[in-house]
Amino acid sequence: MKKILTAFLLITALGTAPAMAADDSLIPVDMMNYIGYGVIMLMLILFVITMLVLLRTFKILTRLLMGAEAKNAAAEVEAEVIPAQPKNSLVNKLLSLRPMAEEESLLTEHDFDGIKELNNPTPAWFMGLFYITIVFAVGYLLVYHVFGVGQLQYEEYQTEMSIANKEKEAFLAKSANRVDENTVTLSSDGAVLQSGAAVFKTYCAACHGEHGQGIVGPNLTDEYWLHGGKINDLFKTIKYGVQAKGMPNWEKQLTPKQIADVANYIKSIYGTHPAGAKEPQGDEYKEAATSTANTASL
Amino acid sequence: MQPEKFYYDNKIVRNFGIATIVWGIIGMTVGLLVAMQLFKPGMNMGNQYTTFGRIRPLHTNAVIFAFVGNAIFMGVYYSLQRLLKARMFSDALSKIHFWGWQLIIVAAAITLPLGFTTSHEYAELEWPIDIAITLIWVVFGINMFGTIIKRRERHLYVAIWFYIATFVTIAVLHIVNSFELPISALKSYYLYAGVQDALVQWWYGHNAVAFFLTTPYLGMMYYFLPKMANRPVYSYKLSILHFWALIFIYIWAGPHHLLYTTLPGWAQSLGIVFSIMLIAPSWGGMINGLLTLRGAWDKVRDDVVLKFMVVGLTAYGMATFEGPMLSLKQVNAIGHFTDWIVAHVHVGALGWNGFLTFAILYWLIPRIYRTQLYSKKLASFHFWIGTLGILFYAVPMYWAGFTQGLMLKEFTPEGILKYPTFLETTLRIIPMHVMRAVGGGLYLLGVIAMAYNLAKTMAIGKLVAQEPAEAMPLEKVFVAHNEGDNFWHRVLERRPIQLMVLSLLVILIGSIIELIPTMTISSNVPTIASVKPYTPLELQGRDIYIREGCVNCHSQTVRPFRSETERYGEYSKAGEFVYDHPFLWGSKRTGPDLQREGGKYSNAWHYNHMLDPRLMSPGSIMPNYDWLINQKLDTTTTAAKINAMRTLGVPYANGYEKLANTELDKQAQGIADNLAKDKIKVQCDREIVALIAYLQRLGTDIKVTKTANNN
């Protein structure tokens, strides 16, 4: 039984993992969805089965235990409860439950349409809970609004941002990821183009067309460019966007490397003349010293 | 003195009971339909009247005000007569109350799909219906207090304290949240704008939960549970303590719906701490109920009615613990705007309100028909399938909420969002939405089984419309017989008007302390000079946004979190909303936030996206809004709208309403020309143009973006 339980917990953990899993997970997103789906179904079905089994067990147990002696047994149980009281007096104090036998003495004279009311004390644990929440409330207001120890939302935001910036700097300092519009270089490396093609398909194709032919956005396969056709210009346009023309800025959604990759991919589809290409927009741009120079520099 | 003979009115109870069942089935069916649209947008059946944004409010209004509302009146009319030993004050008022309430529901069922909405959640109905609700509520109040005054029982039982608190508080909430300036028969603008409007709305919204879904049900629990179990109420002291604590504290908790928004920090903190203090008073009702069953647990095993009560009370206990936890800002940061909240409210609605209603129906219908329940087996089936339905509903929704909440906050080591497109997170939780619909379907199946069971029960029995009873009349002067009669609260219990006034004062304290400073002290809403009123076209576009119920899925408030400012842009400022009558911050992000939508995409992108969202965002679950492209914008209202806004304090120049439509046409032509450049032919007088104008304006007043051109 324990094994099954452990296995079960493991599966459950796996199911939740997708949200936190690493980028380069072997299992595709769709697959993870189905696994999560299956696990939930399985859990709920298992839950139902367990409940049914338990219900059945309880029914049999009651029949066995309570059978003909049910009435006597009930009376005995009540009689036993009273002497057992001093044993766990703290628990009893917290629960503040009076023995059932004392009930008569607790009745008030109230009678509403046959409904009687007992005058039981409010349970000690309940009052404790109430007082604790009140203390918490006072403490909370003091911490955030009188002593100024706690950070309210705008300070909290500044703290969050400064920590994030430090972490980001630290990470970028030791990685090769640090490329910007001044340092980007033209590349025809297979891996770069492949990565760029993937980014293009996800983020750019909706407006520029699957083959870069241009739909809402301009055609990217001809030699005409609205904001410059140099690799550095492309990088800049993608990074910062062109608000007036509806080109979003991507610096918050794509890493510098991804921007470089997709810029290179766009350079690589030059002259492919896809079907339904949009008419040229902008100024003509010719790569000054074409790929040869760049390959050499690589 | 002779005992007086009189008759209880059971017919009105029966009528409210049938209305409860009928509206329950309708409301839940609409719920199932909207649930299915969240994984298959085509389930809107391709027309605007059955699309999510318009019928999600229909679902919430139907289950809250039609299903639960009728159940409250059923329970109150049954128990009040018996607890006061008197027939209802006036049969005519009872009838007006019943038919008036049903007419209001029918009016809601017609106007909401047609797109007439104020956009305030759970208060979507337009101003004429708001007036009707007020009148009918007053009728209910007169009928209730009339009965109390001619009562034959000196003291008011705890159930009636809760009914009285419900009556006065709902009246205050409804009236304050309905201050609207009508501009036509079915369109109005709220008097408040932005932050103030948001605070009023959530003060109302939260306390609609408190005083419509909680206090009347606690009152009903206090009558029906001791009756069902044949046990005395556990603790009179606890009743007093938790009643006053509950109504005093509940009213303060509204701002927890607005954490991390531009609501002033002090108001947010008050919302948090009062929510935490609410745990014990809420649980007071649960433990008083569960401990009343002490010594009767053997009955719970056999009696399906008590089973419903126990699960209902437990669900109440869970929801009222979870609520305060969600109010803590650290938890709220993850849970807010996600399916977690949807799971939370449904535990309360399906468990507490639903199950208590079913228990009361199963107990009461056979009694007023002098017969036995048609099938105990079927009732038992209802209990189990209902419980399963709740589980199948809640578990996937919690899962979906955590998953999406965490995904949206995740960053890569490079410091960019791990899931930059919102859609990725939506697609991940679609299977959970499928499961949720299955759970809701099971629950609905149970209700249908109940309807059949009760219809059969009614058929085999005969309604005792006039149930004879007798009681001694009250003596003119009260003489205390017992020592207990001089206890201060006992004194209050025989003075209904004082009790009502006192509960009114108790709920006004929190309301006034939170609302008045936010309304009047200018430092709470700092103004921004660059924020200008909407142009006439944008104003019309905004009303289309309201009509289509976009606010049901898209928020318009960017919280100050790194994950949100990176995703959406600069966080919201209070001064940006000063011309927003009403505010449109929303409470759920099924889609992304739109506060900084302006200028993010081109007009052509928006056009294509509204035509079919999947063209621009493959896999999107947003429905098509193709009718906006065919429908002509109604510009006859422009002048009235400008005038109304000016009355509300929006600085349009005098006489501007005469130029407004000329300006509107000019701006519309500009957008149509811009679309034409992208080979999109659209007439400039179509609704889509106005909506695009509004979307492109959103959040741009203070927007500073780096672009390649000015960089």
What residues of chain B, 415 to 434, have a C-beta less than 8 Å from chain A?
415-418, 420-421, 424, 427-428, 430-432, 434
Determine whether the interchain pair B411/A165 forms a contact, defined as Cβ–Cβ distance below 8 Å. Answer: no
Confidence check: pLDDT of B8 > 80: yes
- Whether B176 and B196 have beta carbons less than 8 Å apart is answered as no
- Whether B436 and B393 have beta carbons less than 8 Å apart is answered as yes
- Where are the domains positioned within chain A? 2-64, 190-297
Determine whether the interchain pair A136/B266 forms a contact, defined as Cβ–Cβ distance below 8 Å. Answer: no
pLDDT at B13: 98
Rounded to the nearest angstrom, the minimum Cα separation between B265 and chain A is 7
Give which of B576, B581, B702, B595 is closest to B650, Cα–Cα: B581
- Whether B556 and B593 have beta carbons less than 8 Å apart is answered as yes
Which pair of tokens denotes residue B70?
């009728």
Lowest mean pLDDT among A20-34, A234-248, B161-175, B257-271: A20-34
Q: Which residue of A has its CA nearest to B696?
A: A246
- Whether B448 and B382 have beta carbons less than 8 Å apart is answered as no
DSSP β-bridge partners for residue B468: B7
Residue range B22-51: average pLDDT?
96
Helix, strand, coil tally for chain B in percent (to 5):
65, 5, 30
Determine whether the interchain pair A248/B601 forms a contact, defined as Cβ–Cβ distance below 8 Å. Answer: yes
- Taking contacts as CB-CB distances below 8 angstroms, the residues of chain B near A244 are 707, 709
Place of tokens 């003075």: B495
Neighbours of B596 (CB within 10 A): 23
pLDDT at A22: 40
Distances from the Cα of A231 to the Cα of A215, A253, B539, angstroms: 22, 20, 43
What residues of chain B, 138 to 167, have a C-beta less than 8 Å from chain A?
153, 155, 157
| Average pLDDT score, chain B | 94
Interface probe for B, chosen from A25, A113, A232 (most Cβ of B below 10 Å), is A113
Find the helix or strand (DSSP H, E) in which B469 lies: strand B466-471
Residues A11-58 have pLDDT tens digits of 554 444 444 444 445 566 666 667 777 777 787 888 888 888 888 888
Which pair of tokens denotes residue A277?
């290409």
Of A115, A243, A254, the CB nearest to B233: A115
Residue range A178-187: average pLDDT?
82
CA distance B331 to B321: 13
3-state secondary structure of B331: helix
Determine whether the interchain pair A36/B431 forms a contact, defined as Cβ–Cβ distance below 8 Å. Answer: yes
Task: Give Cα A259 distance to the centre of its chain.
Answer: 26
Place of tokens 């006072």: A138
CATH topology of domain A190-297: Cytochrome Bc1 Complex; Chain D, domain 2 (1.10.760)
Percent of chain A with pLDDT over 90: 19
Of B291, B561, B617, the CB nearest to A157: B561
pLDDT at A163: 93
Place of tokens 């709740």: B390
Rounded to the nearest angstrom, the minimum Cα separation between B35 and chain A is 17
pLDDT band for position A177 (cuts 50, 70, 90): low
- Taking contacts as CB-CB distances below 8 angstroms, the residues of chain A near B79 are 113
Find all residues with CB under 8 Å of A104, minimum gap 6, and list them.
none
Neighbours of B621 (CB within 10 A): 21
What residues of chain A, 133 to 192, have a C-beta less than 8 Å from chain B?
133-134, 136-138, 140-141, 144-145, 152-154, 156-157, 160-161, 164-165, 167-168, 171-172, 175, 177
Residue A52 Ramachandran class (φ > 0 left, ψ -120 to 50 alpha, else beta): alpha
- Interface A:B, Cβ pairs < 8 A: 248
Lowest mean pLDDT among A95-104, B221-230, B253-262, B512-521: A95-104
pLDDT band for position A70 (cuts 50, 70, 90): low
Task: Give Cα A269 distance to the centre of its chain.
Answer: 37
Task: Give Cα B380 distance to the centre of its chain.
Answer: 30
Distances from the Cα of B611 to the Cα of A106, A230, B284, angstroms: 70, 35, 53
CA distance A191 to A265: 10
CA distance A182 to A74: 87
Residues B417-448 have pLDDT tens digits of 999 899 999 999 999 999 999 999 999 999 99
Determine whether the interchain pair B420/A245 forms a contact, defined as Cβ–Cβ distance below 8 Å. Answer: no
Of A29, A117, A216, the CB nearest to B678: A216
- Taking contacts as CB-CB distances below 8 angstroms, the residues of chain A near B323 are none
Q: Please tell me which residue, B5 or A232, carries the higher pLDDT value.
A: B5
- The gap between the terminal CA atoms of chain B, to the nearest Å, is 95
Rounded to the nearest angstrom, the minimum Cα separation between B687 and chain A is 21
Interface probe for B, chosen from A81, A243, A261 (most Cβ of B below 10 Å), is A243
pLDDT at A77: 53
pLDDT at A162: 94
Q: Which residue of B has its CA nearest to A241?
A: B707
Q: Which residue of A has its CA nearest to B407?
A: A19
Lowest mean pLDDT among A145-149, B302-306, B389-393, B588-592: A145-149
Give which of B375, B393, B389 is closest to B449, Cα–Cα: B375
Neighbours of B274 (CB within 10 A): 24
CA distance B533 to B701: 10
Determine whether the interchain pair B604/A244 forms a contact, defined as Cβ–Cβ distance below 8 Å. Answer: no
Domains and CATH numbers, chain B: 536-697 (1.10.760.10)
pLDDT band for position A75 (cuts 50, 70, 90): low
Find all residues with CB under 8 Å of B243, minimum gap 6, and list them.
B158, B161, B162, B165
pLDDT at A20: 42
Rounded to the nearest angstrom, the minimum Cα separation between B136 and chain A is 28
Residues B653-704 have pLDDT tens digits of 999 999 999 999 999 999 999 999 888 999 999 999 999 999 999 999 886 5
pLDDT at A69: 54
Question: Is the Cβ of A52 closer than 8 Å to some Cβ of chain B?
Answer: no
- Taking contacts as CB-CB distances below 8 angstroms, the residues of chain A near B239 are 117
Q: What is the torsional sign of CA A263, A264, A268, A270? A: positive
pLDDT at B520: 82
pLDDT at A26: 58
Q: What is the ipTM of this complex?
A: 0.92
- Taking contacts as CB-CB distances below 8 angstroms, the residues of chain A near B599 are 243, 246
What residues of chain A, 85 to 144, have a C-beta less than 8 Å from chain B?
97, 100, 103, 107-110, 112-123, 126-127, 129-130, 133-134, 136-138, 140-141, 144
B447 φ, ψ to 5°? -65, -40
Whether omega for the bond prior to residue B582 falls within 30 degrees of 0, making it cis, is: yes
pLDDT band for position B108 (cuts 50, 70, 90): very high
Q: How many residues does chain B have?
A: 711
* SS3 track for A88-119: HHHHHHHHCCCCHHHHHHHEEEEEECCEEEEE
Place of tokens 């992304």: B592
Of A18, A177, A254, the CB nearest to B428: A18
Across A286-296, b (16+ Cβ under 10 Å) vs e yields: eeeeeeeebee
Residue range A184-211: average pLDDT?
88
Residue range A248-275: average pLDDT?
86
Determine whether the interchain pair B708/A134 forms a contact, defined as Cβ–Cβ distance below 8 Å. Answer: no
- Taking contacts as CB-CB distances below 8 angstroms, the residues of chain B near A255 are 412, 414, 416
pLDDT at A68: 53
Q: Which residue of B has its CA nearest to A48?
A: B388
Residues A112-135 have pLDDT tens digits of 999 999 999 999 999 999 999 999
Q: Which residue of B has its CA nearest to A228?
A: B708
Question: Is the Cβ of A243 closer than 8 Å to some Cβ of chain B?
Answer: yes
Give which of A274, A119, A260 is closest to A182, Cα–Cα: A260
Place of tokens 């679950």: B621
- Taking contacts as CB-CB distances below 8 angstroms, the residues of chain A near B82 are 113
pLDDT band for position B310 (cuts 50, 70, 90): very high
Give DSSP secondary structure letters for A222-287.
Answer: SSEESS--SHHHHHHHHHH-BGGGTBPP-TTTS-HHHHHHHHHHHHHTTT---TTPPPP-SEE---
Determine whether the interchain pair B395/A37 forms a contact, defined as Cβ–Cβ distance below 8 Å. Answer: no
- Taking contacts as CB-CB distances below 8 angstroms, the residues of chain B near A202 are 421
3-state secondary structure of B203: helix
Find the helix or strand (DSSP H, E) in which B343 lies: helix B339-346
Residue B490 Ramachandran class (φ > 0 left, ψ -120 to 50 alpha, else beta): alpha
Within a 13 Å sphere around the CA of A139, how many CA atoms are in the beta-carbon half?
8
3-state secondary structure of B418: coil
Task: Give Cα B363 distance to the centre of its chain.
Answer: 28
Q: Please tell me which residue, A291 or B522, carries the higher pLDDT value.
A: B522
CA distance B685 to B688: 9
pLDDT band for position B527 (cuts 50, 70, 90): confident
CA distance A180 to B179: 54
Task: Give Cα A75 distance to the centre of its chain.
Answer: 54
Determine whether the interchain pair B705/A18 forms a contact, defined as Cβ–Cβ distance below 8 Å. Answer: no
- Taking contacts as CB-CB distances below 8 angstroms, the residues of chain A near B616 are 206-207
| Average pLDDT score, chain A | 78
pLDDT at A49: 85
- The gap between the terminal CA atoms of chain A, to the nearest Å, is 62
Of A117, A123, A245, the CB nearest to B602: A245
Determine whether the interchain pair B85/A129 forms a contact, defined as Cβ–Cβ distance below 8 Å. Answer: no
Determine whether the interchain pair A152/B85 forms a contact, defined as Cβ–Cβ distance below 8 Å. Answer: no
Q: What is the torsional sign of CA B686, B692, B698, B701? A: negative
B189 φ, ψ to 5°? -115, 140
Which pair of tokens denotes residue B126?
């337009």
Confidence check: pLDDT of B37 > 60: yes
Of A120, A136, A164, the CB nearest to B562: A164
Question: Is the Cβ of B705 closer than 8 Å to some Cβ of chain A?
Answer: yes
